[in-house]
Every structure is written in C-alpha cells, then in structure tokens.
Amino acid sequence: MDAALKALAEPRRREILRLVWSAELPATAIADHFSEVTRSAVSQHLGVLKAAGLVSERRDGTRRLYRADRSEMRQLRRFLDDYWTSGLERLRDAAEAAQREKDAADG
C-alpha cells in the first residue's frame, strides 16, 4: 500500500494513471501527452506505477502497452475509505467525550 501511495504522490503519475484508466496505451502515446517531460522520465514514472501495482504492462512486439490495474485501485480505495472512516470515528468519539466532560463541569 505504501508504494501505491508514494507513487500517487507525484502529479504526473496521477495523470498517467488517468490516461490509462479506460484504455490501454503504448508508452509512446503516454509520453506524447507530456510535452515538458522527456520520454525517459515518463518511462521511469511508468516503472514506479508498475512496481506499485497500479498499472500493468503488456508487450506487443516492440511496443509496451499500459493499462490501469483496477483491482489494485479498488484495494487502495478500500484502504483509504477504512482509514478515513476510522479517523472520523475517532474524531467523533473525542468530540463526544469532550462534550460529556464539558456537560459534567457545567453540571
């Protein structure tokens, strides 16, 4: 999970993930989307996303085709949903405890 979160911390990697979310794309098409970034840098970003399990790579002759790994993204979403839900529950519990203390002091 840490590798996925670290990979998504970089804005260009998030953009790459958006590009390959609904369509498999060759590395060259992905690189063409980023005029300000070298192909080598895009290749490194793809490598990080692949190592984190967020994209899959398929070879077709000399081309490498990339697609978002939706199952990994579902796991990441579940993790984040659980993280935020448990955090909100802790915040609610703390607020309720503080209110009880205040009510008891005012009492």
CATH of the domain at 10: 1.10.10.10
Residue type, 28: T
Q: Domain for residue 84, yes or no?
A: no
How sure is the predictor about 107, in pLDDT bands with cuts at 50, 70 and 90?
low
Place of tokens 């008891």: 104
Contact 69, 53 (CB under 8 A): yes
Distance CA 26, CA 24 (A): 7
Distance CA 50, CA 66 (A): 9
Length of the chain: 107
Q: What is the pLDDT of residue 15?
A: 96
Q: Please write down the long-range contacts of 33-40, taking CB distance under 8 Å and 24 or more positions apart.
A: 37/12
Q: Domain for residue 88, yes or no?
A: no
The separation between the first and the last C-alpha atoms of the chain, rounded to the nearest angstrom, is 47
Q: How many domains does the chain have?
A: 1
pLDDT at 90 over 80: no
Mean pLDDT of 11-30: 95
State pLDDT tens for residues 24-77. 999 999 999 998 999 999 999 999 999 999 999 999 999 999 999 988 878 888
